[in-house]
Amino acid sequence: MPKPAHPPIAMKAYERLAERYNRRAPTKAHNAHYDRPATLSLLPDVRGRQVLDAGCGPGIYSEWLINEGARVIAFDVSSRMVGFARRRLGNRAEVLEANLEEGLGFLEDHTIDVVLCPLVLDYIRDWQQAFAEFSRVLKPGGLVVCSISHPAPDYFLYHSGGNYFEVETVIERWLFGRDGDPVEMPRYRHSLGHLFDALGSAGLIVEKFLEPRPTEAFRETEPENYDTLMRRPGFLCIRAKKPA
Protein backbone atom coordinates (compact mmCIF):
# COMPACT_ATOMS: atom_id res chain seq x y z
CA MET A 1 0.00 0.00 0.00
CA PRO A 2 1.50 3.43 -0.95
CA LYS A 3 2.45 5.72 1.94
CA PRO A 4 0.04 8.63 2.44
CA ALA A 5 1.37 12.01 1.27
CA HIS A 6 0.71 13.55 4.68
CA PRO A 7 1.93 12.75 8.22
CA PRO A 8 -0.69 11.43 10.68
CA ILE A 9 -2.73 14.55 11.45
CA ALA A 10 -3.11 14.14 15.20
CA MET A 11 0.03 12.25 16.19
CA LYS A 12 1.83 15.22 17.76
CA ALA A 13 -1.32 16.31 19.62
CA TYR A 14 -1.81 12.81 21.03
CA GLU A 15 1.84 12.58 22.04
CA ARG A 16 1.22 15.72 24.12
CA LEU A 17 -2.11 14.50 25.45
CA ALA A 18 -1.15 10.86 26.10
CA GLU A 19 -0.45 11.17 29.83
CA ARG A 20 -3.68 13.13 30.44
CA TYR A 21 -5.69 10.75 28.25
CA ASN A 22 -4.31 7.72 30.06
CA ARG A 23 -5.17 9.25 33.43
CA ARG A 24 -8.57 10.77 32.61
CA ALA A 25 -10.21 8.61 29.91
CA PRO A 26 -10.96 5.65 32.23
CA THR A 27 -13.46 7.88 34.13
CA LYS A 28 -14.03 10.97 31.93
CA ALA A 29 -17.74 11.32 31.20
CA HIS A 30 -17.52 11.51 27.39
CA ASN A 31 -15.50 8.27 27.34
CA ALA A 32 -16.74 6.28 30.33
CA HIS A 33 -20.41 7.26 30.28
CA TYR A 34 -21.06 8.03 26.63
CA ASP A 35 -18.73 6.52 24.01
CA ARG A 36 -17.73 3.28 25.74
CA PRO A 37 -21.15 2.03 26.89
CA ALA A 38 -22.59 2.72 23.43
CA THR A 39 -19.72 1.24 21.44
CA LEU A 40 -19.39 -1.81 23.68
CA SER A 41 -23.13 -2.45 23.34
CA LEU A 42 -22.51 -3.18 19.63
CA LEU A 43 -19.96 -5.94 20.29
CA PRO A 44 -20.86 -9.61 20.15
CA ASP A 45 -19.67 -12.04 22.83
CA VAL A 46 -15.90 -11.71 22.36
CA ARG A 47 -14.82 -14.76 24.41
CA GLY A 48 -12.18 -16.66 22.43
CA ARG A 49 -12.42 -14.21 19.50
CA GLN A 50 -9.45 -12.48 17.87
CA VAL A 51 -10.05 -8.74 18.18
CA LEU A 52 -8.04 -5.90 16.62
CA ASP A 53 -8.14 -2.70 18.71
CA ALA A 54 -7.33 -0.15 16.00
CA GLY A 55 -6.08 3.15 17.48
CA CYS A 56 -6.01 1.65 20.97
CA GLY A 57 -4.79 4.76 22.81
CA PRO A 58 -3.70 3.73 26.33
CA GLY A 59 -5.46 0.35 26.00
CA ILE A 60 -8.67 0.94 27.96
CA TYR A 61 -10.85 -0.92 25.45
CA SER A 62 -8.22 -3.65 25.08
CA GLU A 63 -8.26 -4.24 28.82
CA TRP A 64 -12.04 -4.61 28.77
CA LEU A 65 -11.77 -7.06 25.85
CA ILE A 66 -9.13 -9.18 27.59
CA ASN A 67 -11.23 -9.30 30.75
CA GLU A 68 -14.10 -10.60 28.59
CA GLY A 69 -11.90 -13.41 27.27
CA ALA A 70 -10.87 -12.00 23.86
CA ARG A 71 -7.44 -12.39 22.27
CA VAL A 72 -6.27 -8.87 21.43
CA ILE A 73 -3.90 -7.26 18.96
CA ALA A 74 -3.78 -3.49 19.49
CA PHE A 75 -2.00 -0.66 17.71
CA ASP A 76 -1.68 3.10 17.80
CA VAL A 77 0.32 5.70 15.89
CA SER A 78 1.44 7.50 19.06
CA SER A 79 4.47 5.91 20.70
CA ARG A 80 3.49 7.40 24.07
CA MET A 81 0.00 5.89 23.79
CA VAL A 82 1.60 2.56 22.88
CA GLY A 83 3.79 2.87 25.99
CA PHE A 84 0.76 3.42 28.22
CA ALA A 85 -1.12 0.55 26.57
CA ARG A 86 1.83 -1.82 27.10
CA ARG A 87 2.00 -0.80 30.75
CA ARG A 88 -1.75 -1.34 31.20
CA LEU A 89 -1.88 -4.67 29.36
CA GLY A 90 1.51 -6.23 30.12
CA ASN A 91 1.92 -9.48 28.22
CA ARG A 92 -1.84 -10.01 27.90
CA ALA A 93 -1.94 -8.40 24.41
CA GLU A 94 0.31 -7.65 21.48
CA VAL A 95 0.61 -3.85 21.17
CA LEU A 96 2.19 -2.36 18.05
CA GLU A 97 3.13 1.14 16.93
CA ALA A 98 1.49 1.57 13.52
CA ASN A 99 -0.27 4.13 11.37
CA LEU A 100 -3.72 3.07 10.15
CA GLU A 101 -3.24 5.33 7.11
CA GLU A 102 -0.39 3.03 5.99
CA GLY A 103 -2.62 -0.04 6.10
CA LEU A 104 -2.49 -3.17 8.23
CA GLY A 105 0.45 -4.89 6.53
CA PHE A 106 1.34 -6.58 9.84
CA LEU A 107 -1.84 -8.70 9.58
CA GLU A 108 -2.66 -11.57 7.20
CA ASP A 109 -5.95 -11.67 5.28
CA HIS A 110 -9.00 -13.20 7.06
CA THR A 111 -7.43 -13.50 10.53
CA ILE A 112 -9.56 -11.18 12.70
CA ASP A 113 -13.07 -11.78 14.13
CA VAL A 114 -13.77 -8.20 15.23
CA VAL A 115 -12.14 -4.88 14.35
CA LEU A 116 -12.87 -2.34 17.08
CA CYS A 117 -12.07 1.27 16.19
CA PRO A 118 -13.51 3.79 18.68
CA LEU A 119 -12.95 7.54 18.20
CA VAL A 120 -10.07 7.08 15.75
CA LEU A 121 -11.50 7.47 12.23
CA ASP A 122 -11.82 11.24 12.81
CA TYR A 123 -8.03 11.33 12.30
CA ILE A 124 -8.05 9.30 9.09
CA ARG A 125 -8.46 11.10 5.79
CA ASP A 126 -9.16 8.15 3.49
CA TRP A 127 -12.02 6.10 4.92
CA GLN A 128 -12.32 3.95 1.78
CA GLN A 129 -8.81 2.65 2.33
CA ALA A 130 -9.26 2.19 6.09
CA PHE A 131 -12.46 0.15 5.73
CA ALA A 132 -10.97 -1.82 2.83
CA GLU A 133 -8.10 -2.83 5.12
CA PHE A 134 -10.51 -3.72 7.94
CA SER A 135 -12.45 -5.87 5.49
CA ARG A 136 -9.29 -7.56 4.16
CA VAL A 137 -8.14 -8.70 7.60
CA LEU A 138 -11.62 -9.77 8.76
CA LYS A 139 -12.71 -13.39 8.52
CA PRO A 140 -15.94 -13.92 6.54
CA GLY A 141 -18.77 -13.06 8.95
CA GLY A 142 -16.45 -10.78 10.95
CA LEU A 143 -17.50 -7.41 12.35
CA VAL A 144 -16.28 -3.82 12.40
CA VAL A 145 -17.47 -1.77 15.38
CA CYS A 146 -16.51 1.90 15.42
CA SER A 147 -17.48 5.30 16.77
CA ILE A 148 -16.90 8.71 15.19
CA SER A 149 -17.85 12.34 15.75
CA HIS A 150 -21.42 12.74 14.54
CA PRO A 151 -21.29 14.47 11.13
CA ALA A 152 -24.42 16.61 11.66
CA PRO A 153 -23.39 18.81 14.63
CA ASP A 154 -19.81 18.58 13.43
CA TYR A 155 -20.65 20.65 10.39
CA PHE A 156 -23.87 22.46 11.13
CA LEU A 157 -22.96 23.57 14.69
CA TYR A 158 -19.22 23.63 15.03
CA HIS A 159 -17.41 23.79 11.70
CA SER A 160 -19.76 25.22 9.08
CA GLY A 161 -18.51 27.64 6.46
CA GLY A 162 -16.66 25.17 4.29
CA ASN A 163 -18.30 22.49 2.21
CA TYR A 164 -20.24 19.75 4.03
CA PHE A 165 -19.62 17.25 1.22
CA GLU A 166 -15.80 17.61 1.29
CA VAL A 167 -13.37 16.07 3.77
CA GLU A 168 -12.12 19.11 5.66
CA THR A 169 -9.47 19.65 8.31
CA VAL A 170 -10.74 21.24 11.51
CA ILE A 171 -8.87 22.20 14.67
CA GLU A 172 -10.30 22.19 18.19
CA ARG A 173 -8.83 23.25 21.54
CA TRP A 174 -8.92 20.37 23.97
CA LEU A 175 -8.32 20.60 27.69
CA PHE A 176 -9.17 17.00 28.49
CA GLY A 177 -9.72 17.62 32.18
CA ARG A 178 -9.05 20.65 34.31
CA ASP A 179 -5.29 20.42 34.49
CA GLY A 180 -2.68 21.13 31.84
CA ASP A 181 -2.47 23.51 28.89
CA PRO A 182 -5.00 23.31 26.06
CA VAL A 183 -3.90 21.13 23.15
CA GLU A 184 -4.68 22.07 19.54
CA MET A 185 -6.33 18.92 18.19
CA PRO A 186 -6.57 18.69 14.39
CA ARG A 187 -8.81 16.14 12.72
CA TYR A 188 -10.84 15.51 9.58
CA ARG A 189 -14.52 16.31 9.24
CA HIS A 190 -16.35 13.82 7.03
CA SER A 191 -19.92 13.74 5.74
CA LEU A 192 -22.37 10.98 6.64
CA GLY A 193 -22.29 9.92 2.99
CA HIS A 194 -18.53 9.25 3.21
CA LEU A 195 -19.13 6.75 5.98
CA PHE A 196 -21.71 4.74 4.07
CA ASP A 197 -19.81 4.99 0.77
CA ALA A 198 -16.63 3.69 2.42
CA LEU A 199 -18.44 0.84 4.19
CA GLY A 200 -20.22 -0.10 0.97
CA SER A 201 -17.05 -0.01 -1.16
CA ALA A 202 -15.39 -2.34 1.33
CA GLY A 203 -18.31 -4.76 1.04
CA LEU A 204 -19.35 -4.21 4.67
CA ILE A 205 -23.03 -4.36 5.55
CA VAL A 206 -24.36 -2.08 8.27
CA GLU A 207 -26.11 -4.06 11.00
CA LYS A 208 -26.58 -1.40 13.66
CA PHE A 209 -26.43 2.37 13.67
CA LEU A 210 -26.53 4.09 17.05
CA GLU A 211 -26.88 7.77 17.99
CA PRO A 212 -26.16 7.25 21.68
CA ARG A 213 -27.47 9.20 24.66
CA PRO A 214 -25.26 9.77 27.70
CA THR A 215 -25.89 7.46 30.67
CA GLU A 216 -27.22 8.42 34.12
CA ALA A 217 -23.66 8.33 35.46
CA PHE A 218 -22.86 11.09 32.94
CA ARG A 219 -25.64 13.25 34.40
CA GLU A 220 -24.16 12.88 37.88
CA THR A 221 -20.68 14.03 36.82
CA GLU A 222 -21.43 16.64 34.11
CA PRO A 223 -25.10 17.71 34.30
CA GLU A 224 -24.81 20.59 31.79
CA ASN A 225 -23.08 18.52 29.12
CA TYR A 226 -25.60 15.75 29.82
CA ASP A 227 -28.51 18.08 28.99
CA THR A 228 -26.80 19.15 25.78
CA LEU A 229 -26.06 15.59 24.67
CA MET A 230 -29.65 14.54 25.41
CA ARG A 231 -30.75 17.08 22.79
CA ARG A 232 -28.00 16.91 20.17
CA PRO A 233 -25.74 14.04 19.14
CA GLY A 234 -22.01 14.05 19.82
CA PHE A 235 -20.93 10.63 18.58
CA LEU A 236 -22.24 8.02 16.18
CA CYS A 237 -21.55 4.30 16.58
CA ILE A 238 -21.85 1.66 13.90
CA ARG A 239 -21.58 -2.11 13.55
CA ALA A 240 -20.97 -3.53 10.08
CA LYS A 241 -20.49 -7.12 8.93
CA LYS A 242 -18.34 -8.75 6.29
CA PRO A 243 -20.65 -11.24 4.57
CA ALA A 244 -19.99 -14.87 5.49
Ligand X SMILES: C[S@@+](CC[C@H](N)C(=O)[O-])C[C@H]1O[C@@H](n2cnc3c(N)ncnc32)[C@H](O)[C@@H]1O
Q: Provide the binding-site residues for ligand X, judged by CB under 6 A.
A: 8, 10, 14, 25, 55-57, 60-61, 76-78, 81, 99-101, 118-120, 123-124
Query: What's the closest the beta carbon of residue 50 comes to ligand X, in angstroms?
Result: 18
Name the residue whose CB lies closest to ligand X: 57
The residue ranges of DSSP E strands in the chain, in sequence order, are 50-54, 71-76, 94-97, 112-118, 138-149, 168-174, 183-189, 205-210, 235-241
* Residue 1 vs 141, nearer CB to ligand X: 1
Query: What's the closest the beta carbon of residue 60 comes to ligand X, in angstroms?
Result: 5
103 Rama sector, left if φ>0, alpha if ψ -120 to 50, beta otherwise: left
Query: What's the closest the beta carbon of residue 202 comes to ligand X, in angstroms?
Result: 17
Residue 157 has phi, psi (to 5 degrees) of -105, -40
From 116, 161, 109, select the one nearest 133 (Cα to Cα): 109
Query: What's the closest the beta carbon of residue 6 comes to ligand X, in angstroms?
Result: 10
* Residue 75 vs 226, nearer CB to ligand X: 75
* Residue 37 vs 165, nearer CB to ligand X: 37
Residue 187 bridge partners (DSSP): 170
